[in-house]
Amino acid sequence: MCTGHLHLHSQCGHQKHFQAVALCDQFDSETSRCMGMCNIISQHLIETPSLCRECYCRTEADIFKCCKDTVTDIEEEIEALTVSLRADIDPAQRTLMQKLRSTLVEEIGELKDARNEELAEFRFQQGVWGDG
């Protein structure tokens, strides 16, 4: 039985690593892991990053997906308006539809800006810069 200190990510609780101080005969030097049981002397919570790589990537992907899904819905609305504008319609109706289409295009830009701000805040909280 190996003995050591366990380091966990504080937010997700997943193991970052086990710092062995005493190795047993079941310790695999190639993987740096004990294949048997481990005796934990102490647990240390890692605050930055507080998510393991897998949880970090999943959370970041969820942020992108949420924005992408909403943008796709808005783009479908824009396309429907564009098709409708090709028809022979009342000038007042046309003006309203053009304004709505412009508003939707602006909304896409605002959504992407909000997504970028959310990503920046998430990365800052995790102590991670760039793409993780």
Q: What is the pLDDT of residues 79-116, one digit of tens each?
A: 999 999 888 888 999 999 999 999 999 999 999 999 99
> 119 Cβ partners below 8 Å, 6+ apart?
60, 63, 64
Return d(Cα 117, Cα 130) in angstroms, integer. Answer: 13
- Clarify whether residues 87 and 26 are in a common domain: no
- pLDDT band at residue 123, thresholds of 50, 70 and 90? very high
Using the 8-state DSSP alphabet, how is residue 15 labeled? E
132 lies in some domain: no
Return d(Cα 132, Cα 130) in angstroms, integer. Answer: 6
- Clarify whether residues 20 and 73 are in a common domain: no
Provide the terminal-to-terminal Cα distance of the chain, rounded to the nearest Å: 35
- Clarify whether residues 37 and 60 are in a common domain: no
- Clarify whether residues 34 and 70 are in a common domain: no
Return d(Cα 129, Cα 96) in angstroms, integer. Answer: 43
Residue 32 has pLDDT above 60, yes or no: yes
Closest listed residue to residue 111, CA positions, set 62, 64, 79, 77: 64
Average pLDDT value for residue range 54-61: 94
- Clarify whether residues 6 and 24 are in a common domain: yes
| Percent share of the chain, pLDDT over 70 | 97
Length reported for the chain: 132
Residue 132 has pLDDT above 50, yes or no: no
Q: pLDDT value at position 105? A: 96
Number of domains within the chain? 2
Categorise residue 130: left if φ over 0, alpha if ψ from -120 to 50, beta otherwise: left
Structural domain boundaries enclosing 104? 53-126
In whole angstroms, what separates CA 130 from the centre of its chain? 13
